[in-house]
Amino acid sequence: MKKTYVIDTNVLIQAPYAVDCFEDNNLVIPLVVVEELDGLKKADGEKGANARAAVRILEGHRTEGNLLQGVTLANGGTLRIEKNFVSVELPEDLPEDKADNRILKVCKGLDGQKKEGEQIILVTKDLVLRLKAQIMGIAAEDFTTEQISEDDAQYTGRCEVFMPEEMVKDFKKKGVPVTDVYQADENGNQTIPELVENEFVILKADQSTKKTLLGRVEGKKIVPLTYKKSKPYGINPKNVGQYFMQEALMTSAEDAPLVIIKGMAGTAKTFYSLAVGMEKVYNNPNGEYRRIVVCRPNAQFDDDIGFLPGDEQEKIAPLMRPIIDNLEQILDSDDKSRYDDESMLSDKIQEVFERDIIQTEALNFIRGRSIAKTYLIIDEAQNMTPNQVKGIITRAGKDTKIILLGDPNQIDKPFLDERTNGLSYAAKYMKGSPYCWQVTLSAEECERSALAMDAVKRL
């Protein structure tokens, strides 16, 4: 029997197209949800844009029939707006004038009228509302269409394999066919790994495992790294993860227009991305990129930026402080004397911004633009929604390189988690694309400090 799904406002705010994602089941949108969309349609940023998009979709269905009676969707399901059940009683400690509780009244009302075997399910991204629903005996679940599986979340963009000893000598010239490498379990059983395009590979000779080579999958071969000996802005890779990261960042926008780097705090994601950008644009300019643009999505960017004082740059300056911290280390590599002359160091950083070598922008000012010949860093990308990351990637103009950085386990934005955020979403769906290179840095590759590395392991 078909299920009946009651859709909460936050689902439509994150995914305006959600009404097309429930196959041939019945969808119910409480009238209070329409009222909330109306109140949000003039909001700034992604929230307002998505509210308007959701309203337009509902308007399109309204022209097809009576939404109060229900209209048929393209996938065979139905969609209707429910304005009844105002007299349904809730527990005394749930005030009836609250929008969430009005949605619960609809769910309870529908549950009282359901046919035998029919399921009434509330779909919401609000954990508290799901908890309330459970207390009232109402089935509730998250909107999972944009949620990646646990298996997808495990992909790191890198793997370790064995290769025949006799192929080691010619690897740098010829590479090695993907069919000639293998993995072995603890019992010595050999299997051929399923490698994907642009996956990074640690190769070990099967007769002398101390011989280790680094490569990348390219078509039917594993080829050696091109930029292994590079030192962007004088920075040397300190571990395998950084060698892979350097390869992805140094490769041209033509061959690697999208780079996704995941890792815990202290793994030098932002630092290395900025160092490569400074090498390309400032230290050794060759016209490859016009500028570096840094965007650091944050829960405040879309919601509260308009209430902060000053112009755009002054508003986002506090959120961009981590970028300044990294620039201090890049522009002056001497750890011992870096802060001896604070004013000189500040002048160096100011020059970089005054010459527009680096520009910082809020996420809601990036959306809607076509960005050409730009080295675009999106830091803390785990705080983006799937819709936002889709909007950023599809805005990439000619010769633009987009770098998504973040840690899926450090989410600051409401209604997102490690399996529904934009960074994880992009990593899943761009896996295997010839245009996307990605790598995940491990906890052992934390380079911030001995304390930071120890804390990552212990806490």
CATH number of the domain enclosing 12 = 3.40.50.1010
Alpha helix positions (H), 341-420: 342-354, 363-366, 386-393
In a domain? residue 201: yes
Highest mean pLDDT among 294-308, 366-380, 423-437: 423-437
In a domain? residue 147: no
For residue 303, pLDDT over 50 is answered with: no
Which amino acid appears at position 28 of this protein? V
Work out the average pLDDT over 344-358. Answer: 88
pLDDT of residue 299: 46
Work out the average pLDDT over 1-10. Answer: 95
Q: Do residues 242 and 358 both lie within one domain? A: yes
For residue 129, pLDDT over 90 is answered with: yes
In a domain? residue 272: yes
In a domain? residue 150: no
Averaged pLDDT score across all residues of the chain: 89
315 versus 357: which is more confidently predicted?
A: 357
pLDDT of residue 211: 83
For residue 308, pLDDT over 70 is answered with: no
450 versus 118: which is more confidently predicted?
A: 118
CATH (domain of 175): 2.30.130
In a domain? residue 102: yes
pLDDT of residue 92: 85
Of 224, 250, 277, the position where a domain reaches its end is: 224
Which range (273-282, 313-322, 325-334) has the least confidence?
313-322
Query: Can you give the C-alpha Rg of the chain in angstroms?
Result: 26
Confidence of residue 71 (pLDDT cuts 50, 70, 90): very high
Q: DSSP class of residue 334? A: -
Task: Provide the token pair at 174.
Answer: 């010829």
Q: Do residues 367 and 430 both lie within one domain? A: yes
Of 165, 193, 224, the position where a domain reaches its end is: 224
CATH (domain of 370): 3.40.50.300
Q: Do residues 184 and 103 both lie within one domain? A: no
Confidence of residue 80 (pLDDT cuts 50, 70, 90): very high
In a domain? residue 396: yes
319 versus 261: which is more confidently predicted?
A: 261
CA distance 8 to 456: 37
Q: Do residues 342 and 453 both lie within one domain? A: yes
Which range (2-11, 292-301, 429-438) has the least confidence?
292-301
- Domain interval for residue 275: 234-458
pLDDT of residue 99: 94
In a domain? residue 94: yes
Q: Could you identify the residue written with the tokens 């005394």? A: 92
pLDDT tens string 174-194: 999 999 999 988 887 899 999
Confidence of residue 458 (pLDDT cuts 50, 70, 90): confident
Q: Do residues 132 and 199 both lie within one domain? A: no
Q: Do residues 276 and 388 both lie within one domain? A: yes
For residue 373, pLDDT over 70 is answered with: yes
Highest mean pLDDT among 150-154, 199-203, 265-269, 388-392: 199-203
Q: Do residues 10 and 58 both lie within one domain? A: yes
pLDDT of residue 107: 97
Confidence of residue 302 (pLDDT cuts 50, 70, 90): very low
Confidence of residue 319 (pLDDT cuts 50, 70, 90): low
Task: Provide the token pair at 32.
Answer: 């209070």
Q: Do residues 295 and 414 both lie within one domain? A: yes
Q: Do residues 273 and 209 both lie within one domain? A: no
DSSP labels, 226-283 = SSTT--GGGPPP-SHHHHHHHHHHHS-TTT-SEEEEEE-TTS-HHHHHHHHHHIIIII
DSSP labels, 23-87 = TTSEEEEEHHHHHHHHHHTT-SHHHHHHHHHHHHHHHHHHTTS-TTT-EE-TTS-EEEEE---TT
Confidence of residue 311 (pLDDT cuts 50, 70, 90): low
pLDDT of residue 313: 59
Work out the average pLDDT over 260-269. Answer: 93
Q: Do residues 168 and 133 both lie within one domain? A: no
Work out the percent of the chain whose per-residue pLDDT is above 70: 92
Q: DSSP class of residue 156? A: -
For residue 196, pLDDT over 90 is answered with: yes
pLDDT tens string 357-369: 999 887 766 766 6
Looking at the 3D structure of the chain, how many domains does it have?
Answer: 3
pLDDT tens string 101-119: 999 999 999 999 998 889 9
pLDDT of residue 448: 74
Work out the percent of the chain whose per-residue pLDDT is above 90: 64
pLDDT of residue 455: 76
Q: Do residues 249 and 104 both lie within one domain? A: no
Nearest-5° Cα angle at 387, 308 to 58: 100
pLDDT tens string 404-449: 999 999 998 888 889 999 999 999 999 999 999 999 999 889 877 7
In a domain? residue 146: no
Q: How far apart are the first and last CA of the chain?
A: 47
pLDDT of residue 323: 86
Work out the average pLDDT over 282-297. Answer: 89
> Would you report the helix, strand and coil content of the chain in percent, each value rounded to 5?
40, 20, 40
Of 169, 196, 224, the position where a domain reaches its end is: 224
Q: Do residues 431 and 355 both lie within one domain? A: yes
